Amino acid sequence: MNLERRVKPRDAKNSPANAVFVSVFAMFIISGVLLLLLALLLYKMELTEQAVRIGVVVIYVVSGFAGGFLMGKMMREQKYLWGLAAGAAYFALLFVASVLIKGGFDMDMTKSVTTFILCAASGMAGGMVS
């Protein structure tokens, strides 16, 4: 049996760690741009607190979807799982940054779980579409 045909070597560009890094970096760039846009809308239109909360949820979903899509394009196999991994990594970095900035865990567990589901599911959806 010829194993060279079965085992596909991965090049450095498509290694999982590199792909996760690139997709999460893209998610943070997209989040930053969208948060700046939301802040501008808040300043100009005097949005309500509920509108801002909806905007933040939309930003989570759009960023997660875009990162999952990018991850699926880079990995080309099991795209939905890689999209899920990208969304989960995005949430993990958001969570760690939040804990470090606040100086401890001060969030409602229900909101944390909901945010994780939003990030992971939108990443998975992006991976499926890719």
In this predicted model, which residue has the larger pLDDT, 105 or 48? Answer: 48
Comparing C-alpha atoms, which of 52, 81, 64, 76 is closest to residue 23? Answer: 64
For 9-31, how does the pLDDT look when each residue is reduced to its tens digit (9 = 90+)? 455 455 888 899 999 999 999 99
The half-sphere exposure of 34 on its side-chain side, counting CA atoms within 13 A, is 19
User: Which sequence spans correspond to the domains of the chain?
Assistant: 15-129
Distance CA 127, CA 130 (A): 5
pLDDT tens digits, 44-66: 998 899 999 999 999 999 999 99
